[in-house]
Chain A
Amino acid sequence: MAEGLRLEEVVICQGGAPLVSLDAAVRPGEVLSVMGPSGVGKSTILSLITGSLAPVFHFEGRVLLDGEEITAKPAEARRIGILFQDDLLFPHLSVAQNLAFGLAPGGSRAARRARIEEGLCEIGLEGFGPRDPATLSGGQKARVALMRMLLSDPRALLLDEAFSGLDQGLRAQMRRLVFEHARARALPVLMVTHDPEDAEAAGGRVVDLGSGGSGG
């Protein structure tokens, strides 16, 4: 299977000792949930995939996206979208500027503006472009962060406890929105979470790193 995200015998070591290992494949449109208690190295796997692994870690194995190895590529060339627990909207930019930062380059100014406004509509925030992100509610910020990431036209999606920061009601709504968009764009999704409800809502396979090792 060439399509999708594939982790081939990935082992991440710290100070020579293996920290976490995973061998898994995620097909386009599929969600793979990686579970386990904190400190087990779930997020470290995601930083390997995004290309932001701290130099104190070493790794073995390969990460492939649509059949192409990406582990040697710089982070910005990988086209791997990621959402964290916090929205991480850039506080010095307006909502529209945040989206423009994400929007893949190219196109006329008018076309880019139209695309951003369209994106705002998709998440139910028409006219929010000039707003200061700090004035948005938690749910609104999360949606802007999602749209910013989608506009960068990623080929895979990583979720790092992406729903843990939201209240109960909002969480279900946000899960639905993220998984819908990922499915519509046929993105492979790798979700790291400690919340069984997240995994249940995703409906895909579950790997438990806490119960001794790798799977997939």
Chain B
Amino acid sequence: MSRRTISGAGPFAAAPVLTVLVMLGPVAAGLAGTLLPAFGYLPAAGLDAVSLDPFRDLADWPGLWPAMRLSVTTGLAATLLALGGVALLFAGWSGTRAFRALERLLSPLLSVPHAAMAFGLAFLIAPSGWIARALSPWATGWERPPDLLIVQDPWGIALTMGLVAKEMPFLLLMALAALGQTDARRRLRVAQAAGYGRVAGWLKAVFPGIYAQIRLPVYVVLAYSMSVVDVALILGPSTPPPLSVQVVRWMSDPDLSMRLVASAAALLQLALVLGALALWRLGEALVARLGLAWIERGARARLADRVLRPLGVVSGGFSAAVILAGLAGLAVWSLAGFWSFPEPLPRGFTAQNWMRHGPGAWEATGLTALVALASVGLALALVVGCLEAEYRRGRALSQAGLWLIYLPLLVPQIAFLPGLQTLLLVLGFGAGPGPVILGHLVFVLPYVFLSLGDPWRAWDGRAGTVARALGAGPLRVLLRVRLPMLIRPLLTAAAVGVAVSVGQYLPTLLVGGGRVPTLTTEAVALASGGDRRAIGVYGVAQTLAVMVPFAAALMLPALIYRNRRGLHG
């Protein structure tokens, strides 16, 4: 008698392969397209002498050291502060009503585009921003905006603050997902029963389990913060800028030979990120060793709660306050008439700004929506294919598979997108929405996968067994039973994907060759001009472009299945 199993992914077997290809193909091709010019090889510009000259030119640039230092310090500081803030918030408050409130407040803020957040923060802290207005002239004595470099400070403090505020909601949501699998509530109860303070007990008994699961997202935050371009253009210093911003400047130089230096700098940026990740990994080991020693000493640290718990709520509140007040600032500026310093509000509100900039923003919204919907549609099809193949094979995603999904988020965009642009140029592909859609797909896919994966796997497989027993084939089970039952997570994943696509700056700019103006590229382009009313209009439009899909994802299932209570639990 032969040994048999029942298996086979059928037509879905191709989905994982295709997904990896679509997701990692551009990364690999882009890295190759960066590597060759970095060593002087760029036949498209008539340059084919392989040499180290691009690196020499890079070393001769006087801004190199400050640019590298900025990338490393802002990246590490932003990641440490965001992780520390989230850890303190959880340690001090998880399970409380205050925590639930902050969680509800922060979750939707995750989707706010980076550029909109950065503009909002700039409007708050600028010398003529809301904070200065609120304190003037009674506390500061300022009758006119002071001549201070607060935004775009040379140390990158504003940039770091912006990144902390924006990355905290991301880490918070990732940690929340991990919380369920850590039995956190009971672990904390055991620690408290043994006399530990809340914060110390949580850090000792729960945090190690959580961190093990959010390690990859933390790496993503580090790699992203070190190499971000749009936020750095708005909040970071400009002479010299962080390294990634300088790469973009060189890339847009009409002199094609500057691309050689840009490529060399992009490789350097990649090396910096890899080095920082290695450093972080070492730091993890060190903290683990110190933490174990701390645990072995058995200190109950009950008094620390008095300081650390308020700090936790302050850090969570900081993120929410910065983003919400920033968005409010954008909205007020978009409607502002005459507004002189130090008045806290404009003299009057007007629709004129919207009349002037609305049509342009509306046009950009069309392209934004086209790119977002196309890339999200493709991503959903591929992800559902992957998950269905995984389900039919009865094999869960391996650790290696998870790394593959995170890979496009770990390799800095600035390291491979210039190469991809050069490659498209060499291959003679015209810039347009097509390549941009594929470029966005690289970053939309991981988030859609991560968003849909858990609910997909949590689906009760017995519903499938029953449907098959009733005579439905596997495809009918998928289309008629599983997808409709998962309508809510499907739409949420789609909204997450749209938010990711809408917020993309660099892929749109570089892969689109500057000829696919979306809300984000248009908004960031306004940064240098300083027209606050125009920035307000574009910032609000950008935020609406991510919020409307989320609202639809919430409302559509309730509408389609308004008489189906079982789907609304």
8 contacts between A and B (CB under 8 A): A52-B465, A55-B395, A56-B394, A58-B4, A60-B3, A78-B469, A105-B471, A133-B566
Which B residues are in CB contact (< 8 Å) with A28? none
Encode B457-479 as 1/0 by CB contact (under 8 A) with A. Answer: 00011111111111111101000
B566-A51 in contact (CB<8A): no
A61 within 8 Å of B (CB atoms): yes
Interface residues on B, range: 35 or more
Q: What is the bound-complex CA distance between A74 and B478, given in angstroms?
A: 15
B6-A52 in contact (CB<8A): yes
A82-B469 in contact (CB<8A): yes
Q: Which of A9, A74, A132 contacts B566 (CB 8 A)?
A: A132
Q: Which of A55, A105, A149 contacts B469 (CB 8 A)?
A: A149
B393-A55 in contact (CB<8A): yes
A-B contact count (CB 8 A): 111
A128 within 8 Å of B (CB atoms): no
B465-A47 in contact (CB<8A): yes
CB closest residue in chain A, given B466? A88
- Shortest Cβ distance from A43 into chain B, in angstroms? 10
A92-B472 in contact (CB<8A): no
Which A residues are in CB contact (< 8 Å) with B351? none
Q: B131-139, B234-242, B397-405, B481-489: which one contacts chain A?
A: B481-489
Which A residues are in CB contact (< 8 Å) with B461? 52
B466-A82 in contact (CB<8A): yes
B463-A90 in contact (CB<8A): yes
B563 within 8 Å of A (CB atoms): yes
CB closest residue in chain A, given B481? A90
A interface residues with partner B (beta carbon < 8 Å): 9, 13, 47, 50-61, 71, 74-82, 84, 86, 88-92, 94, 101-102, 104-105, 132-135, 148-149, 152, 154
Other A-B pairs, 6, CB within 8 Å; known A61-B1, A81-B469: A51-B468, A55-B5, A58-B3, A84-B466, A88-B460, A92-B484
- Shortest Cβ distance from B421 into chain A, in angstroms? 44
Query: Which 5 pairs show the lowest CB-CB distances between chains A and B?
Result: A91-B566, A134-B565, A134-B566, A75-B468, A55-B394
B564 within 8 Å of A (CB atoms): yes
Which B residues are in CB contact (< 8 Å) with A56? 394
A55-B470 in contact (CB<8A): no
- Shortest Cβ distance from A108 into chain B, in angstroms? 19
Please judge, given known A-B contacts A75-B469, A79-B471, whether A132 and B563 are in contact too, CB under 8 Å. yes
Which A residues are in CB contact (< 8 Å) with B426? none
- Shortest Cβ distance from B147 into chain A, in angstroms? 62
Which B residues are in CB contact (< 8 Å) with A78? 469
Q: Which of A52, A59, A135 contacts B4 (CB 8 A)?
A: A59
Which A residues are in CB contact (< 8 Å) with B356? none
Encode B296-320 as 1/0 by CB contact (under 8 A) with A. Answer: 0000000000000000000000000
B561 within 8 Å of A (CB atoms): yes
- Shortest Cβ distance from A176 into chain B, in angstroms? 22
CB closest residue in chain B, given A56? B394
Which B residues are in CB contact (< 8 Å) with A154? 469
B181 within 8 Å of A (CB atoms): no
Which A residues are in CB contact (< 8 Å) with B515? none
